[in-house]
């Protein structure tokens, strides 16, 4: 699915961005290996994993409990350990 250039439904009214868009975001951020990154909306954890590969640590905030669990499972399955995902509304104090 990563090579299909379309938004992928995640449930709960959320979609994963098209891979081309995620690649463009990652490219524009110029993430360095020493960077600590705040991501708002973990979704499936795909962009989270890409950010984790480039940076030192990703702190991600996900409002939907089921998506938080999905992202954590996907990251764990792929051995990505430099990510902290918090449950909450990023507009409330993050």
Contact 74, 46 (CB under 8 A): yes
* Reported CATH class of domain 32-94: alpha beta
- 43: nearest Cα among 70, 7, 82, 6: 70
pLDDT at position 78: 97
**4-56 pLDDT, tens per residue?**
666 776 778 776 778 788 889 999 999 999 999 999 999 999 999 999 999 99
Which pTM value belongs to this model? 0.85
Counting every residue written for the chain, the total comes to: 94
Chain centroid to Cα 57, Å, comes to: 12
Pair 39, 55: CB distance under 8 Å: no
């Amino acid at each position: 699915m990563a090579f299909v250039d379309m938004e992928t439904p995640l449930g709960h009214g959320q979609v994963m961005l098209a891979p081309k868009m995620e690649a463009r975001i990652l490219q524009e951020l110029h993430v360095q290996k020493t960077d600590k990154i705040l991501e708002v909306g973990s979704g499936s954890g795909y962009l989270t994993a890409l950010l984790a590969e480039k940076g030192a640590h990703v702190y991600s905030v996900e409002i939907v409990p089921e998506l938080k669990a999905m992202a954590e499972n996907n990251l764990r399955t792929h051995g990505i350990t430099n990510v902290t995902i918090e449950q909450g509304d990023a507009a409330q104090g993050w």
